[in-house]
């Protein structure tokens, strides 16, 4: 290739590239709306131990409890000299929950009353032992067990 031909070829290439650059259309603006990221619900935080509910799962009566606090032989029939053990099984989590238990004689008279505050994280058994040095009067009774200020759970029993 001769110098004038080379210059001609370079000039043509330069003009062609300028022409192409000048003809290049701008990319149209992206008018599509990008949707916001899908919102995911915030993870539920476990309730703090101070605010979780504790509920009664069972109330068992008997005269003797084992080392595990479970009533060895449950009964609703007692003699006048028997200790009356009210065993309360609960479930839940709490830094401080009050369990209140009372024995009510058939005429409405309170025959015994105890409260305990528990701190629990799961399943718990709490026992209340009632004794009467003069012997329990024969008749029908109700053991009432309540957690904090909830309505009591009632279990009937008899002293013979």
Q: Give the model confidence (pLDDT) of 83-119 as tens digits.
A: 999 999 999 999 999 999 999 999 999 999 999 999 9
pTM: 0.68
Q: Residue 67: left (phi > 0), alpha (psi -120 to 50), or beta?
A: alpha
pLDDT of residue 31: 47
Whether residue 46 contacts residue 94, with contact meaning beta carbons closer than 8 Å, is answered with: no
Residue 14 confidence (pLDDT) above 70? no
Helix/strand/coil for 44:
coil
41 has pLDDT over 50: no
pLDDT digit string (tens) for 63-78?
999 999 999 999 999 9
Of 50-64, 111-125, 139-153, least confident by mean pLDDT is: 50-64
In this predicted structure, the answer to whether residue 20 has a pLDDT above a threshold of 90 is no
Percent residues over pLDDT 70 in the chain: 68
Domain extent listing, the chain = 54-159
Q: Is 108 left (phi over 0), alpha (psi -120 to 50) or beta?
A: left
Residue 157 CB coordination number (10 Å)? 16
Contacts 24+ apart (CB under 8 A), 115-120: 118/54, 118/90, 118/94, 119/94, 119/95, 120/54, 120/90, 120/92, 120/93, 120/94
pLDDT for residue 39: 40
Instruction: Measure the CA–CA gap between 72 and 62, rounded to whole angstroms.
Output: 7
In a 10 Å sphere around its CB, with 0-12 CB exposed, 13-18 middle and 19+ buried, how is residue 109 labelled?
Answer: exposed
Task: Answer whether residue 3 shows pLDDT above 70.
Answer: no
Q: Give the residue from 99, 71, 86, 80 showing the smallest Cα distance to 142.
A: 86
* CA neighbor of 63 nearest in space, from 77, 50, 49, 52: 77
- Domain 54-159 CATH assignment equals 3.40.50.970: no
Across the chain, mean pLDDT equals 81
């Amino acid at each position: 290739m001769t110098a004038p031909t080379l210059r001609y070829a370079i000039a043509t290439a330069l003009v062609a590239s300028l022409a192409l650059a000048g003809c290049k259309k701008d990319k149209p603006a992206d008018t599509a709306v990008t949707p916001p990221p899908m919102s995911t619900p915030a993870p539920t935080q476990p309730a703090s131990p101070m605010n979780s509910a504790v509920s009664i799962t069972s109330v068992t009566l008997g005269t003797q409890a084992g080392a595990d606090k479970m009533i060895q032989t449950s009964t609703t029939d007692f003699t006048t000299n028997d200790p009356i053990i009210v065993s309360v099984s609960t479930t839940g989590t709490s830094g401080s929950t009050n369990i209140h238990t009372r024995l009510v004689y058939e005429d409405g008279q309170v025959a015994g009353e105890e409260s305990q505050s528990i701190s629990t994280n799961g399943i718990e058994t709490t026992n209340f032992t009632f004794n009467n040095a003069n012997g329990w009067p024969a008749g029908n009774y109700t053991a009432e067990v309540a957690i904090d200020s909830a309505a009591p759970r009632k279990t009937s029993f008899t002293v013979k």
